[in-house]
C-alpha cells in the first residue's frame, strides 16, 4: 500500500516518508489515550468535589460566625483545615478558626493554628496578622497571663512550653524585630523561672545567642549585662571560685567594650569596681591564711598581690606592714 503511494520516488525518499507516516499514525493513536485516562479524570473529579465540599463548609461557617453561632463556625472551619488543607479556602479557614479559638479562651490552641497558617500558607493575606497574634500569645504566656487549667486548678504555662513558643516566634521571622525580642524573653524566662544552676546556664546560653545573632539589637546590651549578673549571683550564692568571678568580670567588661554608650555601661563599670575590690580583699585573706599556717613564702606572695592591686588605704597599709615584718625574719 505504502509502496504504491510512493511509486516513482527514489528509495531513500520513500523510506523517510514511511517513517513520517508511521510517526503521525502512532501519535494519532497515542494522544487520545492520554487525554482519556480514567485515573486522570477521576483525580480531577475528586479534586473538584473536594473543593466544592470545602467551599460548602466555608460558606456555612461564615454564615454561622456572622449569626453569632461561633461553636458551629469553629467546627466547619476546623473541618476544612483537617480534611481539605489544600483547598483554596483552607488558609482563610485556618486563620478564622484561630481567631475564634482566641475568642473562645483557647490561646494555646490558637497559637498552634496561627503557626499552621505561617508554615503551610505563607502566601496568605493573613500572614502578617497571624504572626502578630502568635507573638502576642507567646509573650502573654511568658508574662504569666495565660494559665493552664487542670482539674479546676490554674497554673502558669511551664518554662519548656513557653520557651518553645517564643522559639517559634523567633524562627518564623528570624530577621524581624520580633525575633530579637523573643530571644531576649527566652533568656528572661529561663533566668527568672529556670531550675537552679541548670536554669542559669540555659539563661546565659540564651542571652549569648542574642548577642551573637543580633549584636546590634536594642536588647543586646541588657542581655550582655544579664550574663554578668547571673554569674555574680552564683558567686554570691556560694560558688565563689576565681574562674566564676573572672567570667562575671569579663561579661561586664564586654558591656563596656561592645556597648559603651548603652544605659547599662555605668552599671557594668560599678560592678567591675566591686569585683576588683573583692579581688584585693581575697588576696589579703589568702595571705592571712598562709601566714597563720606558717607558710611565709605563699603569704608574702598574696600580701604583695594585695598591695599591687589596691590604692592607698588601711588594707594596703596592713599588707605592706606584714610584708616588711615577714621579710625581716
Each residue's pLDDT tens digit, 78-108: 999 999 999 999 999 999 999 999 999 999 9
Each residue's pLDDT tens digit, 37-90: 655 545 455 567 679 999 999 999 999 999 999 999 999 999 999 999 999 999
How far is the first Cα of the chain from the last one, in angstroms, to the nearest whole number?
132
Q: What is the mean pLDDT of the chain?
A: 85
Q: Is the pLDDT of residue 30 over 50?
A: no
Q: Is the pLDDT of residue 202 over 70?
A: yes
pLDDT at residue 233, as a whole number: 86
CA-CA distance, 103 to 107, in Å (whole number)? 8
Distances (CA, A) of 27 to 19, 22, 33, 39, 79: 12, 9, 10, 21, 45
CA-CA distance, 244 to 226, in Å (whole number)? 15
Strand ranges for the chain from DSSP E: 147-150, 153-156
Model's pTM, two decimal places?
0.74
- What H or E segment, with its residue span, contains residue 218? none
Segment 252-270 mean pLDDT:
96
Segment 285-310 mean pLDDT:
88
Q: Is the pLDDT of residue 33 over 70?
A: no
Instruction: Tell me what percent of the residues of the chain surpass a pLDDT of 70.
Output: 82
Locus of grid cell 597599709: 317
Tell me if the domain spanning 264-329 has CATH number 3.40.50: no
Least confident piece of the model among 114-128, 188-202, 245-259, 304-318:
304-318
Q: What string of DSSP letters covers 101-150?
A: HHHTT-HHHHHHHHHHHHHH-TT-TTHHHHHHHHHHHHHHHHTT-SEEEE
When mean pLDDT is compared over 103-117, 193-207, 284-298, the highest value belongs to 103-117
Amino acid at each position: 500500500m505504502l509502496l504504491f503511494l510512493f511509486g516513482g520516488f527514489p528509495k531513500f525518499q520513500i523510506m523517510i516518508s514511511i517513517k513520517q507516516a508511521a510517526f503521525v499514525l502512532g501519535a494519532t493513536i497515542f494522544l487520545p489515550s492520554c487525554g482519556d485516562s480514567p485515573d486522570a479524570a477521576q483525580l480531577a473529579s475528586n479534586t473538584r468535589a473536594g473543593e466544592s465540599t470545602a467551599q460548602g463548609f466555608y460558606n456555612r461557617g461564615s454564615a454561622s460566625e456572622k449569626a453569632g453561632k461561633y461553636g458551629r463556625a469553629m467546627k466547619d472551619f476546623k473541618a476544612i483545615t483537617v480534611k481539605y488543607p489544600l483547598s483554596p479556602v483552607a488558609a482563610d479557614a485556618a486563620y478564622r478558626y484561630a481567631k475564634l479559638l482566641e475568642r473562645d479562651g483557647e490561646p494555646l490552641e490558637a497559637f498552634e493554628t496561627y503557626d499552621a497558617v505561617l508554615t503551610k500558607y505563607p502566601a496568605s493575606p493573613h500572614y502578617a496578622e497571624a504572626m502578630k497574634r502568635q507573638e502576642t500569645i507567646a509573650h502573654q504566656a511568658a508574662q504569666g497571663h495565660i494559665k493552664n487549667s487542670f482539674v479546676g486548678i490554674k497554673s502558669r504555662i511551664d518554662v519548656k512550653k513557653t520557651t518553645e513558643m517564643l522559639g517559634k516566634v523567633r524562627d518564623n521571622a528570624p530577621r524581624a524585630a520580633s525575633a530579637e525580642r523573643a530571644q531576649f524573653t527566652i533568656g528572661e524566662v529561663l533566668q527568672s523561672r529556670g531550675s537552679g544552676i541548670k536554669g542559669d546556664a540555659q539563661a546565659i546560653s540564651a542571652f549569648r545567642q542574642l548577642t551573637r545573632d543580633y549584636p546590634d539589637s536594642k536588647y543586646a546590651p541588657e542581655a550582655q549585662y544579664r550574663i554578668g549578673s547571673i554569674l555574680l549571683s552564683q558567686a554570691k550564692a556560694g560558688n565563689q571560685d576565681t574562674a566564676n568571678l573572672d567570667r562575671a568580670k569579663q561579661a561586664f567588661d564586654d558591656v563596656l567594650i561592645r556597648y559603651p554608650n548603652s544605659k547599662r555601661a555605668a552599671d557594668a563599670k560599678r560592678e567591675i569596681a566591686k569585683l576588683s575590690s573583692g579581688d584585693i580583699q581575697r588576696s589579703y585573706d589568702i595571705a592571712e591564711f598562709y601566714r597563720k599556717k606558717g607558710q611565709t613564702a605563699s603569704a608574702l606572695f598574696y600580701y604583695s598581690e594585695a598591695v599591687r592591686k589596691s590604692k592607698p588605704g588601711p588594707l594596703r597599709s596592713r599588707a605592706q606592714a606584714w610584708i616588711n615584718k615577714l621579710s625581716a625574719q
